[in-house]
Amino acid sequence: MNKTEFDAVVVGSGPNGLAAAITLQQAGLSVLLLEGKPTIGGGLRSAELTLPGFLHDSCSAIHPMAINSPFFRTLPLDAHGLEYIQPPVAAAHPFDDGSAAVLTRSVTETARLLGPDEQAYLDFFKPLIDQWPRIDADVLGPLTFPKHPLDFARFGLKALPPSTWLGHWFKTASAKGLWAGMAAHSIQPLSNWATSAIATVLMTAAHLRGWPLAKGGSQQIANALASCFQSLGGKIETNFYVHDLAQLPATKAVLLDVTPRQLLQIAGHRFSSVYQWQLNRYRYGMGVFKVDWALDGPIPFTAEGCRRAGTVHIGNTLEEIVDSERQTARGKHPEKPFVLLAQQSLFDPTRAPAGKHTAWAYCHVPNGSTVDRTEVIERQLERFAPGFRERILARHTMNTAELQEHNPNYIGGDINGGIIDLGQLFTRPALRWSPYRTSAKGLYICSSSTPPGGGVHGMCGYRAAQRALKDVFKQDHHL
């Protein structure tokens, strides 16, 4: 590489690395973004994984947090080619009796379809929908004194309890199952404190701006962010895998979109012994086993609501999902795992040849597991969509080791950059005044291993860039 000096270098082009790079470039700095893979995007990549003409999202697929991101909303991403598609049903949750609970954009419609739980649902979510625009930036950031403390406290009362507790807010198996499927996005036992936060945020996001997919694949979000960055004068280099800081050009600040394990490998010799100790104690959570299918037709779900949904949560009752997640956290492989499924081609014809379809799914597995879960995942789908297997033309699978090879931030298949339980909710990745600062001057971590954690929202990168701008360049940058 040409040893041209840059004001800042960002390592890793996932949504957080891209957000950090854009924020720094917006501040008038010269920024270099480095990516180890041939294509940018991290978890935002799409490829023909099964058959020619079938476009699959390699990792992230549905994007409620991207469209709701306080930072991404400030960017003209539509002018850079990004188009969101909104399925008529954000998420559906089928049950063994052939029915399904559905989450739609309308809070009143969602509540009405829950029957006896209509008022309970409205009582829970209508105040959150009103409060969210005042607290979203504080929720999606490090622990600080919020701008609207009363609203933030009301959110906390619903977000901090275990999701098994708040499941009792509802009476019906339908509402409880819908809630449990949302809470299972936390990728930890649902009896853990703060698992309600994931469900609360995702369902509120659906009612505010929906659960869209990106037309042409999730890669298009990364491409739009990269185009925005380059339009500001930023530079991107791919196929440049950083193993050591000595590889980098002269610069004043380095922001790394990596998890603590890679951070130690790249820059551990620069850190204090206490900071090294903290990073070595950082905990990774459950992994995922992922399957993509090329299909001869749409998935034949029994429940009509599932045939209209971009996302389907397959897990039946709250009790069954709680048991599945508990077993997995204990290192087991349950026979009826919770399965998170997306069916993008139902709404985006660019994903498959005419008349054909794609589907994307994963289940949770113990961290580092290489057990093939294809059979149990397909059995779960067949349970709610009889005839599904007859429509499979081809499949592509990734176990946790293959996911980590695809994206080095997915340690042991952990797609959240580390478990987001109460023990790490406020200390990601270490207990420090600023979680984005390392103990080495000018070095910052900007990945999902920092607050607010996993998800395609870019807020970890934005917050880390804010910190670097203030520390190194004496600039304040606010949304």
- The answer on 314 and 279 residing in a single domain is no
Which pLDDT score, from 0 to 100, does residue 426 have? 83
- The answer on 395 and 320 residing in a single domain is yes
Give the contacts of 471 (CB within 8 A, at least 6 positions apart): 437
Of the residues 406, 427, 443, the one at which a domain ends: 406
The two three-digit tokens of residue 190, written as one number: 């649902």
| Cα–Cα distances in angstroms (integers) from residue 51 to residues 56, 215, 236, 396, in the given order | 10, 19, 30, 9
**What's the whole-number average pLDDT of the chain?**
97
Give the contacts of 140 (CB within 8 A, at least 6 positions apart): 69, 70, 452, 457, 459
Confidence of residue 479 (pLDDT cuts 50, 70, 90): confident
- Cα separation of 21 and 25, whole Å? 6
Confidence of residue 478 (pLDDT cuts 50, 70, 90): confident
Give the contacts of 409 (CB within 8 A, at least 6 positions apart): 12, 14, 42, 43, 257, 258, 259, 262, 417, 447, 448
Coil, helix or strand at residue 206? helix
Confidence of residue 214 (pLDDT cuts 50, 70, 90): very high
* 479 is a domain residue: no
What are the pLDDT digits (tens) for 386-415?
Answer: 999 999 999 999 999 999 999 999 999 999
- The answer on 292 and 375 residing in a single domain is yes
Report the pLDDT averaged over residues 464-469: 98
* 235 is a domain residue: yes
What are the pLDDT digits (tens) for 274-314?
Answer: 999 999 999 999 999 999 999 999 999 999 999 999 999 99
Confidence of residue 429 (pLDDT cuts 50, 70, 90): very high
- The answer on 291 and 267 residing in a single domain is no
Position 2 pLDDT exceeds 60? no
Report the pLDDT averaged over residues 177-198: 98
- The answer on 197 and 166 residing in a single domain is yes
What are the pLDDT digits (tens) for 149-183?
Answer: 999 999 999 999 999 999 999 999 999 999 999 99
- Report the number of distinct structural domains present in the chain: 2
We report the CATH number of the domain holding residue 372 as 3.90.660
Of the residues 380, 406, 432, the one at which a domain ends: 406
- The answer on 76 and 90 residing in a single domain is no
Percentage of residues of the chain with pLDDT beyond 90: 97
Which pLDDT score, from 0 to 100, does residue 4 have? 60
What are the pLDDT digits (tens) for 227-262?
Answer: 999 999 999 999 999 999 999 999 999 999 999 999
- The string of DSSP letters for 291-305 reads EEEEESS----SSGG
Which pLDDT score, from 0 to 100, does residue 336 have? 98
What are the pLDDT digits (tens) for 86-107?
Answer: 999 999 999 999 999 999 999 9
- The answer on 252 and 380 residing in a single domain is no
Confidence of residue 5 (pLDDT cuts 50, 70, 90): confident
- The answer on 140 and 272 residing in a single domain is no
Position 3 pLDDT exceeds 80? no
Position 135 pLDDT exceeds 90? yes
Residue 380 CA, distance from chain mean position: 23
| Nearest by Cα to 318 from 89, 103, 165, 98 | 165
CB atoms under 10 Å from CB of 204, counted, come to 24
Domain span including residue 135: 84-213+286-406
* 350 is a domain residue: yes
Span between the terminal Cα atoms of the chain, in Å: 34
The two three-digit tokens of residue 257, written as one number: 């979109």
- The answer on 76 and 219 residing in a single domain is yes
- The answer on 169 and 129 residing in a single domain is yes
What are the pLDDT digits (tens) for 351-388?
Answer: 999 999 999 999 999 999 999 999 999 999 999 999 99
The two three-digit tokens of residue 223, written as one number: 């491409």
Of the residues 406, 439, 454, the one at which a domain ends: 406
- The answer on 371 and 354 residing in a single domain is yes
* 1 is a domain residue: no
Coil, helix or strand at residue 58? coil
- The answer on 255 and 195 residing in a single domain is no
Phi, psi (deg, nearest 5) at residue 46:
-135, 145
| Cα–Cα distances in angstroms (integers) from residue 45 to residues 40, 56, 249, 452, in the given order | 8, 9, 27, 22
We report the CATH number of the domain holding residue 68 as 3.50.50.60
* 199 is a domain residue: yes
Please tell me what DSSP assigns to residue 350.
G
